[in-house]
Amino acid sequence: MKALVCVKRVIDYNVKPRVKADGTGVDLANVKMSMNPFDEIAVEEAIRLKEKGVVTEIVAVSVGPAKAQETLRTALAMGADRAILVVSEDEVEPLAVAKIIKAIADEEQPGLIITGKQAIDDDANQVGQMVAALLGRPQGTFANEIAVEGDSVVVKREIDGGLETVKLALPAIVTTDLRLNEPRYASLPNIMKAKSKPLASKTPADYGVDTAPRLKTHKVTEPPVRSAGIKVADVDALVAKLKEMGVA
């Protein structure tokens, strides 16, 4: 079975984002970029399924700027077999990304598509669900456990009330949550091997997808600075303070 894994190049999770002076977006100049953490988990899960003999080939896919090659090389160093980069220097919205992934899936015919539940830059949490809808395939979102059983995949999902287990007929789409696994570090020999692994470069036009934006960002601002808290001596003082603030 072939697994298609979607990865995205985002601001490193250790970096504090800065808003541009004119408020038109987030400043990406001279900022460390890396693979979206949820997508790292997706790559790791695909590799584990391959190690179990369930998956035979892992194809990593990314839609983004030419520099996203570095992100795909990381996925290849972790254990993916080959990669496809759909180059777009402009920001591509979730629906356009989903249409591109759908077109790639039509060509590759993967038994399983795995992606992070969301990207930490836009927090959209949309691509996995949109891909499932476009392909007409079952989906298991927010997975914290995945097990392939014959022609089905069993996914334990994290939901508001606890955990839900669903059984999906393959081919299917799964989006990963934080507690699914802990991604491995790529070793130096694997990093060197990744340089020679196939990486195809495509454009949205190759898949007949129009990436023109449907949304317009009017303004981006920093969140308000939190004011300092205060300490109270006891519960009575707390209640009195809440009444004074008009909360209680």
Q: What single DSSP character describes residue 186? A: P
User: What pLDDT, on a 0 to 100 scale, did the predictor assign at position 21?
Assistant: 87
The total number of residues written for the chain in this structure:
248
Phi/psi at 10 (nearest 5 deg)? -135, 170
The yes-or-no verdict on residue 14 having pLDDT over 70 is yes
Paired tokens of 182 = 């802990």
CA distance 157 to 172: 14
Provide, rounded to the nearest whole percent, the portion of the chain with pLDDT above 70.
100
User: What pLDDT, on a 0 to 100 scale, did the predictor assign at position 244?
Assistant: 87
CA distance 167 to 172: 10
Q: What is the pTM of this model?
A: 0.88
Convert the pLDDT of each residue in 160-189 to its tens digit.
989 999 999 999 999 999 999 999 999 999
In this structure, what CATH number is given to the domain that contains residue 84? 3.40.50.620
Average pLDDT, the chain: 94
Q: For residue 246, what pLDDT band results from cuts at 50, 70 and 90?
A: confident
Q: What is the mean pLDDT of residues 199-209?
A: 96
**Exposed/middle/buried for residue 206 (C-beta within 10 Å: 0-12, 13-18, 19+):** middle
CA distance 246 to 26: 37
User: What pLDDT, on a 0 to 100 scale, did the predictor assign at position 38?
Assistant: 96
CA distance 207 to 86: 9
Q: Please state the separation of Cα 151 from the chain's center in Å.
A: 25
User: What pLDDT, on a 0 to 100 scale, did the predictor assign at position 45?
Assistant: 97
Counted domains in the chain: 1
Task: Answer for the pair 6, 42: CB distance below 8 angstroms, yes or no.
Answer: yes
Convert the pLDDT of each residue in 97-116 to its tens digit.
999 999 999 999 999 999 99
Q: For residue 248, what pLDDT band results from cuts at 50, 70 and 90?
A: low
The yes-or-no verdict on residue 11 having pLDDT over 80 is yes
Convert the pLDDT of each residue in 77-100 to its tens digit.
999 999 999 999 988 999 999 999
User: What pLDDT, on a 0 to 100 scale, did the predictor assign at position 23?
Assistant: 86
**Exposed/middle/buried for residue 64 (C-beta within 10 Å: 0-12, 13-18, 19+):** buried
Query: Residue 204: which of 61, 59, 57 has the closest Cα?
Result: 61
The letter for the amino acid at 80 is: A
Query: Residue 146: which of 61, 55, 58, 57 has the closest Cα?
Result: 55
Instruction: Please give the helix or strand (H or E) that residue 203 lies within, else none.
Output: none
**Domain of residue 16, residue span:** 2-244
Q: For residue 228, what pLDDT band results from cuts at 50, 70 and 90?
A: confident
Task: Answer for the pair 47, 186: CB distance below 8 angstroms, yes or no.
Answer: no
The yes-or-no verdict on residue 245 having pLDDT over 90 is no
Provide, rounded to the nearest whole percent, the portion of the chain with pLDDT above 90.
79
Q: What single DSSP character describes residue 219? A: -
Convert the pLDDT of each residue in 30-81 to its tens digit.
899 999 999 999 999 999 999 999 999 999 999 999 999 999 999 999 999 9
User: What pLDDT, on a 0 to 100 scale, did the predictor assign at position 247?
Assistant: 76
